[in-house]
Amino acid sequence: MNSKTVKLTQMMQIANHGHILYIYDAIDSYIENAVSYIMTGIEHGHHLLIIENKERYEQIYLKLQEALSHDQLDYIHYIDNYEFYRLYGDCHCESIVNHFTQIIKPFLSQQISFRTWAHVEWKEQDHITSKLEHFENIADQSVSSSGLVSICAYDGNKISALLQNTMLKSHEYLMTDNELVKSNLYQKRTVVFPSLSVQSDHKKVEKQLKAIKHQLESFIMQNSDPILILDKDDKLITINRAFERTFGWSADEVVGLNATDLPIIPDDKRFEVNRNRSFAILGENIEGCESVRKTRDGTILNMMLSCFPLRDEEDKVSGRAVIIRDISERKKAQELLIRTEKLSVAGELAAGIAHEIRNPITAIKGFLQLLQSGSIEKKAYYGIIAAEIDRIEQILSELLMLAKPQAINVESKNILSLIKDVVTLLDAQANMNNVQIIIKFDHSETCVRCEENQIKQVCINFIKNAMEAMPKGGKLVIQIKNVNEEKLLIRFIDQGCGIPKHLLSKLGQPFYTTKKKGTGLGFMVSKQIIENHNGTVVISSKENKGTTIEVSLPL
Ligand code: ADP
Ligand code: MG
């Protein structure tokens, strides 16, 4: 045997299987190697499937006939490679694989060992590299799963370097006319290093990523709102300077703490932390949730919190970011507005009330004169005078209540008596305007947790608006409805001028008024108060028919 040929017996050291890429150059060596391969196989009791062109096979077979007996020659099975690879015109991977599967079926079913020699040839066609790559990948899988030894021979003068390298990934061994080596590229795809051009691309991307990271870091650090970054276990990993400034704790003191243990969270708000975390885990954002947080010196600040999940490169939630905005100043301004508006309502009411009070005072004065003159029976009139004085007292105390700044005091209040108190104040104006106020209710005992004065302020605003919408008089129905155990509705239903559809959205904007002496603040402030009570305000209106303002409050 030619010394240049590969000692193919070596191949038997190839574990149990071997997918070998043979890039041949000289035909002589090719034939020598094929013969050696076949003979070694037969020595090991293997059958041989030779996928080869006719001419080359004849050359090989001639040599084999010299060396092998008839019985041994029966181990060789010839398959025309022209038919095999060009069976359906273009190289069609699935067809080839199916064909091959059919061929080897009888061997596998009878548990006959075999090895293959395939001379891969193809006619010029598009995408041949990727077609062959696909085919050889499948072939490699079947070779390694069936423990087959298989040679795929490619003409080194025809195969492109690109195709050769591609093939080296699906073949465990590379053979040339006189060498056999392990393929460095085989199945090492995961640790294959990118080529130089890709590496420089990587560097570019790396630089870009660094720049973005830098931008994000400074965006977080320089942000004027406190920002916290928490990992997937809800441990604090980053805070920014605004956090330190606002709350007074430094990064050293808080980084590493669990979110629920952060000193900025008042005890009664710890449940919020777990709730926000659950939202983040589900991939949900929380936007603009109002709450309070504590500074190092114990000051409670009104805060608006936004919280959103952070994701890793596999799009899994890997933590969350929390942005906190100090809205204490805004809250103060809102409270101031509510107070100012209240005072202006009180001022307006005072004019009407002066009127209301003058009537009983005139009556009392008259009775006093009559009593002084002794012209009437005293006893009968004392009762009337006392009742008139009571009424004056009641009205004045309501007015004072409204005008006086009060500490915010949330208590459970009977809603029916609250509304009756308000109506007392407004009766005078209602009478003057010919408006009849009718109160309807489901239960007289329903109580609502609220800031009494603020809810009164809301009712006054809505009743006043209703009366002002009915300058010629009409009915105002105040309906108190228990929707269920959790919700109460208060409807103010008037028969006034109504609000044109296109102006409905303006209601609630500050200073929007259609009245000469209006402030355009009543509706907005009332809506704010109700929302602060976790309720809602809904308007429905028909021009020239009337308006219904529906306030819902949690019970
Ligand atoms: P103001 O009463 O000082 O005008 P509001 O904020 O209370 O301010 O109301 C704003 C505007 O909304 C009113 O000027 C009026 O045009 C309209 N409006 C509010 N309530 C009613 C109502 N019940 N019927 C008709 N228009 C209303
Ligand atoms: Mg008003």
Reference 158, options 23, 291, 269; nearest CA is: 23
* Alpha-carbon torsion (446, 452, 457, 458), positive or negative: negative
Q: Taking a C-beta distance cutoff of 8 angstroms, is the pair 121, 81 a contact?
A: yes
Confidence band of 355 (pLDDT split at 50, 70, 90): low
Q: Taking a C-beta distance cutoff of 8 angstroms, is the pair 500, 553 a contact?
A: no
Residue 464 CA: which ligand 1 atom is closest? 2
As to burial, measured by CB atoms within 10 angstroms (0-12 exposed, 13-18 middle, 19+ buried), residue 316 is exposed
Residue 508 CA: which ligand 1 atom is closest? 6
Distance CA 496, CA 101 (A): 88
* CA 48 to ligand 2 center in whole angstroms: 100
Residue 118 pLDDT more than 50? yes
Confidence band of 246 (pLDDT split at 50, 70, 90): very high
Q: Higher confidence at residue 357 or residue 116?
A: 116
In short, whether 461's Cβ falls inside 6 Å of ligand 1 is yes
The two tokens of residue 486 are 């959790």
What pLDDT score does 68 carry?
A: 92
* Alpha-carbon torsion (191, 196, 202, 207), positive or negative: positive
* CA 523 to ligand 1 center in whole angstroms: 7
Phi-psi region of 508 (alpha: psi -120 to 50; beta: other; left: phi over 0): left
> If you take atom 21 of ligand 1, which residue's CA is the nearest one?
465
The two tokens of residue 236 are 């604090």
> If you take atom 20 of ligand 1, which residue's CA is the nearest one?
465
Confidence band of 133 (pLDDT split at 50, 70, 90): confident
In short, whether 497's Cβ falls inside 6 Å of ligand 1 is yes
Q: What is the rounded average pLDDT of the residues 214-227? A: 89
Q: Write out pLDDT tens, residues 360-412.
A: 788 788 778 777 877 666 676 777 788 788 878 877 777 777 666 666 788 99
* CA 524 to ligand 2 center in whole angstroms: 9
Residue 6 pLDDT more than 60? no
Q: Higher confidence at residue 216 or residue 413?
A: 413
Query: Kindly report the CA angle at 29 between 25 and 33, in degrees rounded to 5?
Result: 115
In short, whether 522's Cβ falls inside 6 Å of ligand 1 is yes
* CA 11 to ligand 2 center in whole angstroms: 98
* CA 464 to ligand 1 center in whole angstroms: 9
What pLDDT score does 199 carry?
A: 54
Nearest ligand to the C-alpha of residue 523? 1
3-state SS class at 516: coil
3-state SS class at 192: coil
Can you give the residue ranges of every domain in the chain?
3-196, 223-326, 332-403, 411-554
Whole-model pTM: value is 0.50
What pLDDT score does 4 carry?
A: 41
Residue 13 pLDDT more than 70? no
CATH number given to 3-196: 3.40.50.300
* CA 514 to ligand 1 center in whole angstroms: 7
Nearest ligand to the C-alpha of residue 469? 1
CATH number given to 411-554: 3.30.565.10
Residue 496 pLDDT more than 90? yes
DSSP, residue by residue, 397-429: HHHHHHHS-----EEEEEHHHHHHHHHHHHHHH
Q: Higher confidence at residue 130 or residue 307?
A: 307
In short, whether 156's Cβ falls inside 6 Å of ligand 1 is no
- End-to-end CA gap in the chain: 101
What pLDDT score does 49 carry?
A: 93
* Mean pLDDT for all residues in the chain: 85
Reference 551, options 485, 499, 449, 478; nearest CA is: 478
What pLDDT score does 313 carry?
A: 81
What pLDDT score does 109 carry?
A: 82
In short, whether 548's Cβ falls inside 6 Å of ligand 1 is no
* CA 504 to ligand 1 center in whole angstroms: 10
> If you take atom 16 of ligand 1, which residue's CA is the nearest one?
514
Most confident of the ranges 72-86, 134-148, 172-186, 242-256: 242-256
Residue 117 pLDDT more than 90? yes
* CA 538 to ligand 1 center in whole angstroms: 14
What pLDDT score does 197 carry?
A: 53
In short, whether 273's Cβ falls inside 6 Å of ligand 1 is no
Of the options 3.30.450.20, 3.40.30.10, 3.40.50.880, 3.40.50.10420, the CATH number for the domain spanning 223-326: 3.30.450.20
Q: What is the rounded average pLDDT of the residues 230-255? A: 94
Percent of the chain with pLDDT over 70: 89
What pLDDT score does 404 carry?
A: 66
Q: What is the rounded average pLDDT of the residues 43-54? A: 91
Same fold, 3-196 and 411-554: no
At residue 526, what is the residue type? Answer: S
In short, whether 465's Cβ falls inside 6 Å of ligand 1 is yes
Residue 323 pLDDT more than 50? yes
What pLDDT score does 5 carry?
A: 43
Distance CA 392, CA 413 (A): 24
What pLDDT score does 300 carry?
A: 92
Judged by average pLDDT, the poorest of 64-73, 248-257, 289-298, 329-338 is 329-338
What pLDDT score does 532 carry?
A: 87
Q: Taking a C-beta distance cutoff of 8 angstroms, is the pair 104, 140 a contact?
A: no
Q: Higher confidence at residue 466 or residue 160?
A: 466
Which of 345, 475, 523, 537 should be mutated for ligand 1, with most atoms under 8 A from CB? 523
Which of 462, 513, 519 should be mutated for ligand 1, with most atoms under 8 A from CB? 513
Residue 283 pLDDT more than 80? yes
In short, whether 240's Cβ falls inside 6 Å of ligand 1 is no
Of the options 3.40.47.10, 1.10.1240.10, 1.10.287.130, 1.10.3470.10, the CATH number for the domain spanning 332-403: 1.10.287.130
* CA 34 to ligand 1 center in whole angstroms: 100
Judged by average pLDDT, the poorest of 159-173, 186-200, 456-470, 539-553 is 186-200
Residue 9 pLDDT more than 50? no
Strands (DSSP E) along 328-485, which ranges?
A: 410-414, 435-441, 447-451, 474-484
* CA 463 to ligand 1 center in whole angstroms: 10
Q: What are phi and psi of 157, to 5 degrees?
A: -85, -15
Q: Higher confidence at residue 459 or residue 212?
A: 459
In short, whether 254's Cβ falls inside 6 Å of ligand 1 is no
Percent of the chain with pLDDT over 90: 40
Residue 23 pLDDT more than 90? yes
In short, whether 457's Cβ falls inside 6 Å of ligand 1 is no
The two tokens of residue 73 are 């020659």
CA quadruple 374, 377, 380, 385: dihedral, nearest 10: 0
